[in-house]
A and B are shown apart, each in its own frame.
Chain A
């Protein structure tokens, strides 16, 4: 099925972002607007009914029987819940649409604006637009698509950012980013060195990502076997830990 989600061009998104951020939200009226476009070569566009179903399913997922985001008990676990369930919730979203900023601008501003406003009360503009790093929803969907929902939902925000802010070297390489993320999760809480400090921390993950990127100018990770990659990642984290501990 060549189904296309709706694409909202940046200029249209920017023109209505202010209203959404101010809390002026009318989902049904906005879904009726025809200023979006579809991906070329598609059999059909996603229907309004399906988009409303996504809203309803997200409320159910969060354990809310009304359609008021204020009834959601806590925003603490929202990112983790959305990441864990995003592939199921958007099961008919093709990756090519999922990687498009315009699709996520539409989903955020037209389908789930109240969720975005509730999740990000600090109201930063880029939370309402598509984007791999700061978008309310796209960043979470992308992590789940690349790493798998289980692995992606266990990463902390700054850990995930260190992977996905380097798309060409790390975030776009599924095999490498999975092994990198697995190392973080499998070693959280493990201590090492004379200091007995934890071998995984925000600083160490950042340092490891930078070091990994640097080694790629010499070593080709694309041709390494899984075992070689795992050893390479473990060595990189070991060096990053020793470097941070020596400061």
Chain B
């Protein structure tokens, strides 16, 4: 098959010469038929205080890389992992390993509190050249030249996927003094703004300071999440324009509309008729289903 070479003054390896075959994060394996088409989602368990241990097994076509890049047999190919986090703008690097076969296992450790929102995980193939050997046409001329780089996105959690959470003194208002939380959803958007809004600009969770300790417990988080889902669905279903979006196959840009649609599809299906009436008539069943799903998301079974 004819190959396309993107030249930096030397030949780069073909994208198909490297693929991810196994990826695990903190001991959890995330199997995929094609990692290139998948965003790895850690939002159900990742928090900023989590240290990330990423292990990846890559499958490479070593002989093709050697041929594509006009390398000599004595030249050494190295492979490494590194990450870039757009939330904190920090890079983290793993150890480069010499490629001796067509498979290689790589590791990357990222300390706690240095990540936010999402990371791009990069695998990088570089070469260490034997200076005594004359370079062939198309070969890189400097050691550490990049032969191929691929990246995969890993979604964490952050301002794009999380609400604003604030602990408040509820005792001042006798009507709410015994409430555990107050969920505020800003609906002051036209449809276009709503479709592109992130969680942090829509959702604010006020937690009663007296129940600060409870809110960390999984069973209360499930109830809180259930309340958020039920409230957000109620608002969206009541609005004809938003309901139209929920009932079609379009995907919104904003994380909030994406979240509402995901939740909607766990209760209703695309094109389903009579949604408003069913929503009214089946509140208890819907709530029970959402609560069950939230307990699965938080892995409390």
Query: Contact residues of A with B, CB < 8 Å?
Result: 2, 7, 9, 34, 36-41, 43-45, 94-96, 99-100, 132, 167-168, 171-175, 217-224, 228
A217 contacts B8, C-beta separation under 8 Å: yes
Tell me the B73-95 residues at the A interface (CB within 8 Å). 78, 80, 82, 84-85, 87-91, 93
A2 contacts B49, C-beta separation under 8 Å: yes
Query: Contact residues of B with A, CB < 8 Å?
Result: 8-9, 47-49, 78, 80, 82, 84-85, 87-91, 93, 96, 113-116, 122, 124, 126, 140, 142-146, 149, 157, 162-169, 204, 212, 216
Known: A96-B115, A220-B124. A43 touches B144 (CB 8 A): no
Bound Cα distance A96, B9 (Å): 40
B89 contacts A94, C-beta separation under 8 Å: no
A173 contacts B91, C-beta separation under 8 Å: yes
Contacts of A36 in B (CB 8 A): 166
What 3 A-B pairs are tightest by C-beta distance, nearest first?
A37-B164, A167-B89, A41-B47
Bound Cα distance A90, B146 (Å): 40
B164 contacts A172, C-beta separation under 8 Å: no
Contacting residue for A222 out of B8, B49, B124, B167, CB 8 A: B124
B162 contacts A40, C-beta separation under 8 Å: yes
A219 contacts B167, C-beta separation under 8 Å: no
Known: A41-B48, A171-B89, A175-B93. A7 touches B164 (CB 8 A): yes
A96 contacts B116, C-beta separation under 8 Å: yes
Contacting residue for A95 out of B88, B140, B143, B149, CB 8 A: B88
Most buried by B among A41, A173, A223: A223
Most buried by A among B91, B124, B142, B146: B91
Contacts of A218 in B (CB 8 A): 8-9, 140, 142, 145-146
Nearest-neighbor residue (CB-CB) of A215 within chain B: B142
Nearest-neighbor residue (CB-CB) of B120 within chain A: A168
B42 to chain A, nearest CB (A): 13
Bound Cα distance A34, B173 (Å): 15
Known: A217-B8, A218-B9, A223-B96. A172 touches B49 (CB 8 A): no
Contacts of B142 in A (CB 8 A): 218-219
A96 contacts B114, C-beta separation under 8 Å: yes
Known: A40-B162, A41-B48, A219-B142. A96 touches B8 (CB 8 A): no
Contacts of A217 in B (CB 8 A): 8, 146
B48 to chain A, nearest CB (A): 5
Contacts of A96 in B (CB 8 A): 48, 87-88, 113-116
B144 contacts A172, C-beta separation under 8 Å: no
Contacting residue for A172 out of B47, B89, B124, B145, CB 8 A: B89
B116 contacts A99, C-beta separation under 8 Å: yes
Bound Cα distance A36, B126 (Å): 47
Nearest-neighbor residue (CB-CB) of A9 within chain B: B164
Known: A41-B48, A167-B89. A222 touches B82 (CB 8 A): yes
Contacts of B149 in A (CB 8 A): 220
Bound Cα distance A34, B85 (Å): 30
B80 contacts A39, C-beta separation under 8 Å: no
Contacts of A7 in B (CB 8 A): 164
B124 contacts A37, C-beta separation under 8 Å: no
Known: A34-B168, A96-B114. A41 touches B49 (CB 8 A): yes
Bound Cα distance A223, B49 (Å): 27
A129 to chain B, nearest CB (A): 16
Bound Cα distance A95, B216 (Å): 22
Contacts of A228 in B (CB 8 A): 143-144
Known: A95-B114, A223-B80. A132 touches B89 (CB 8 A): yes
B275 to chain A, nearest CB (A): 31
B212 contacts A44, C-beta separation under 8 Å: yes
Contacts of B143 in A (CB 8 A): 228
Contacting residue for B216 out of A43, A168, A219, CB 8 A: A43
Bound Cα distance A193, B114 (Å): 42
Contacting residue for A37 out of B47, B122, B166, CB 8 A: B166
Nearest-neighbor residue (CB-CB) of A34 within chain B: B168
A60 to chain B, nearest CB (A): 27
Bound Cα distance A221, B142 (Å): 12
Bound Cα distance A48, B84 (Å): 34
Known: A38-B165, A172-B90. A223 touches B124 (CB 8 A): yes
